């Protein structure tokens, strides 16, 4: 299914929700991943975790309109490589969500 919600909130935030109905190959085929990202993806044993990870990357690309890389601090806090926005990521069963903000 893909994006089920994409809203701008009060001008400074953007919220996106993705419903995961796709199979692994469909999600993966639409992404251009760096070598490090492929290693991370291949390191997940659980298929559900792989689908969550892929759907987050598809969703961030939908929200930004470009191939945007998500990286993590040493404390495992996600951020955008280009530092264009602060992000919060959530996932539960068949859904992933991202909230982006220009401000903290």
Residues in the chain with pLDDT values less than 50: none
As a whole number of angstroms, the longest Cα–Cα distance in the chain is 39
User: CA quadruple 2, 27, 98, 48: dihedral positive or negative?
Assistant: positive
At 87, list the tokens.
Answer: 């992000």
Contact between 87 and 79 under an 8 Å Cβ cutoff? The reply is: yes
pLDDT of residue 3: 81
Q: How many domains does the chain have?
A: 1
Distance CA 50, CA 61 (A): 17
pLDDT of residue 95: 96
pLDDT of residue 28: 96
Q: What is the CATH number of the domain that holds 65?
A: 3.90.470.20
Distance CA 2, CA 83 (A): 25
Q: For residue 34, what are the domain limits?
A: 2-101
């Amino acid at each position: 299914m893909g994006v089920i919600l994409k809203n701008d909130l009060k001008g400074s935030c953007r919220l996106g929700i993705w419903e995961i109905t796709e199979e692994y190959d469909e999600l993966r085929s639409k992404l251009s991943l760096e070598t490090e990202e492929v290693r991370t993806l291949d390191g997940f044993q659980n298929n559900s975790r792989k689908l969550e990870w892929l759907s987050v990357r598809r969703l961030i690309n939908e929200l930004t309109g470009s191939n945007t890389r998500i990286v993590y601090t040493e404390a495992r806090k996600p951020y955008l490589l280009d530092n264009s926005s602060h992000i919060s990521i959530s996932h539960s069963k068949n859904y992933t969500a991202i909230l982006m903000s220009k401000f903290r």
